[in-house]
Chains A and B, each alone.
Chain A
Amino acid sequence: MDTSTNPLASSLGERIRDLSATHPVAIRRITSLAPVWTLLAMFIFFGLASPNFLTVRNLENILRQMSVLAVFATGMTFVLLLGEIDLSIAAVAGVSAMISATLFTKSGAAEPIPLLAALAAAILAGFISGFFSARFRIPTFMTTLAMQLIAGGMTTYLSKGRVITQITDVSEFLGSGRIGGPNGFPVIVVVAATSLLVGHLVLRYTRFGRYIYMTGASKPAARLAGVNTNRILLMVLTICGFTAGLAGVVGMGRLHSALPDAIPSYLMDTIGAVVLGGTSLMGGRGGIPQTLVGLLIYITLRNGLDNIPTIDIYLRDFITGWVLLVALVINTVFAGRTERDKTI
């Protein structure tokens, strides 16, 4: 049958192609916003599935649940844009929190000493990983894996396996405080928003940010263009260390505890959220706005499923995994981010 004469008989793919040919800019704009549509679809679905989902309290929960990851994700976006990886963030966060709590409880140090010491330790951890990767050409996968063990081991040594539940007022304020009284706005969300905003401004409006994109897109080309790629790598991993340390302090304030083990979900959830938003693992593509959308999708999915009690508890992770995979496919295929293999 001649489909050109019968519009009803043409396939969906053909129709989209036709539409793309006639309205290329509009279609590109719509598909490039695929992660946003995914997020909207989730909000609509969970809003219909659970009466508790679209309440003010739960929306605030989503923001709070996202906040620690958002601080981690700011640094991780820098790292992934460079085409590198940092596996040590959860462990660095753990050791930062433990240093702060140990100084406060055992040495009686008052703020800002515990906070500054925690952040300094995290910056040092990032710097060391960056230095060894840049100086000796060791893949960041390996240097940060080693740093994960170093930081985790230091946490265990400092804690002697004990949870410390006495934390500084500053940590508590950053993690659990509210602006404007007991029903005010959570400080942790402000910290997260500030972190993302500063990250965005640096990446978007500074020479350093442009160098990160250049280096991530093609390190040899960036080097030929005069960019000191080793210094970029060193600075990016140091920044990631700093955000990990800040996330550790904020997370400690949220959990009211410095834990003797790294929180396992922090690492993979952070990488998952950043990539889900559209930042490429290969580097050179993505940014903080994408990370924000990725974080929102990731946390909304988890929070939404938690708000539907009829889902079998033993099936929850299975469902989460599948929904995540579908969201990833939508985000990458419809946003045109996949480089298809033209040979097949």
Chain B
Amino acid sequence: MNHMDRRNFLKSSLLLSSGFALGNLLPVLEYRLAHAQDRPLRAAMSSAGLAGTWNAQGEEAARYFADLLGVEITWFDGEFDAAVQRAKFDTLTNESWDFVAVQPGAIGTLVEPIQDLVAAGTPVIDMDTLIAPLQDLQGLGVLTFIAPDNIFMSESVVKKVVEKMGYAGKIAHIGGQPGHTGAQARGQGFYNIVGQYPDIEIVDDQPADWNVARAADLTESVLNRHPDLKAIFADNDDMAISAAQVVANAGLQGQVIIGGVDAMPPAVEAVRDGVLVATARNSACRIHSWAVIAGTVAATLGLEAARNEIPFYVLADGPAIYSDIASDPALADEPWKLANYGMSATDGQLWLMKQYLF
């Protein structure tokens, strides 16, 4: 039996076994773990910009899981510039890949090279934000879209923020980049919750474009106009921490409650230390590592088999993490009735992130 025949035999066996396993990916992963060295897979991955801490964490997680599964990743950094990412994607199509996973910097900008990749039979995985408008995404031939629910995340945080405000007072919203669908969804989540409380007044709502310096400027400005401000919600943690520093400099840390989104390690530590009241985990590790797993499965089973195996949309987000710890002496014997069993979730989240698991 020559090499190709042996591989086809293994593939056929694998297809059969995975078929019996009824949608279970584990046989594929076991196969890859056992044969990681036989034929390493080649994958291209791209994120909007590795200068972002969230993206950098995702890249580390992807490489970690890729090493486990015998996948060699070549990374194409979008540098937070739609034209740069497009140019790199054009270059990427020069070669053949076992799979490609991408977090587009802007919707619609990568359609043409992705059409070329799909036409060549390359599995393409969309991470975090939409490659094309949702109605076009499946027609484009994308294998799966792995993304968080940004509305859920921001609603989870804002609920805690308004609770700490006593459901009344002035609040400011620092938005992300206006064109970013995630930022728009987080803004929507903010309004969904705040709109339920007529005694809460939104005194400022401006985009800071994920820029921490701009977030600090906006915070200074709103504190100047509204010294009685009670809360700030920022669309990501970096901006929330920046706002927290301005609030601390103004000596208002006891008065102004601040929440963010993403639950990156510095923000989780800030929640643990009471600097932020809440954050919600947008798991870069899960989104990127699941993309590697989905791509590996598609490269092993074949694209069409993988389409039957992997759902088109995979939700990947995490819980909200709060600074306050539920406590009720009356429930001492029934701690399961307290949020997080009356314990802090922060250390567990930090530990999981170190292992690229969450």
Q: Chain A residues in contact with chain B, CB under 8 A? A: 52, 55, 57-58, 61, 64-65, 68, 156, 159-163, 165, 176, 251, 254-257, 259-261, 263-266, 302-303, 306-307, 309, 313-314, 316-317
Contacts and interface: CB of A to CB of B under 8 A. Distances in A.
B117 to A, nearest CB: 13
The 8 closest A-B pairs by CB, nearest first: A161-B178, A257-B108, A165-B108, A309-B74, A260-B179, A255-B109, A306-B91, A52-B94
Contact of B112 (A159, A256, A306, A313): A256
A65 B90 contact: yes
Interface in B110-151: 111-112, 132-133
Interface string B165-183: 0000000000001110000
Interface in B79-105: 79-84, 86-88, 90-95
Contacts of B93: 57
B348 to A, nearest CB: 29
Contacts of A260: 178-179
Given A61-B91, A162-B179, A307-B91, A265 B108 contact: no
Given A159-B178, A265-B79, A309-B74, A256 B94 contact: no
A170 B133 CA distance: 21
Contacts of A317: 79
Interface residues of B, number: 35
Nearest to A65: B87
A266 B86 CA distance: 13
Given A255-B82, A266-B83, A52 B108 contact: no
A165 B83 contact: no
B141 to A, nearest CB: 16
A302 B106 contact: no
A127 to B, nearest CB: 26
A161 B77 contact: no
B107 interface: yes
A14 B59 CA distance: 52
A307 B76 CA distance: 10
A217 B338 CA distance: 78
A263 B177 CA distance: 13
Contacts of A159: 178-179
Nearest to A68: B83
B245 interface: no
A316 B50 CA distance: 12
Contacts of B88: 306
Given A52-B94, A255-B108, A256-B112, A306 B81 contact: no
Given A161-B178, A165-B133, A254-B86, A303 B107 contact: no
A64 B178 contact: no
B207 interface: yes
B75 interface: yes
B184 interface: yes
Contact of A264 (B81, B87, B109): B81
Contacts of B108: 163, 165, 255-257
A303 B177 contact: no
Contact of A257 (B80, B106, B209): B106
B174 to A, nearest CB: 14
B94 A61 contact: yes
B109 A57 contact: no
B114 to A, nearest CB: 11
B207 A265 contact: no
Contacts of B77: 313, 316
Contacts of B112: 176, 254, 256
Given A161-B179, A161-B207, A257 B82 contact: yes
Given A255-B82, A302-B87, A303-B91, A313 B75 contact: yes
B302 to A, nearest CB: 25
A9 B254 CA distance: 77
Nearest to B42: A309
Given A68-B83, A176-B112, A263-B81, 17 more contacts: A55-B94, A58-B94, A61-B90, A64-B90, A161-B184, A163-B108, A165-B108, A165-B133, A254-B112, A255-B109, A256-B112, A257-B109, A259-B106, A265-B81, A303-B87, A306-B92, A313-B50
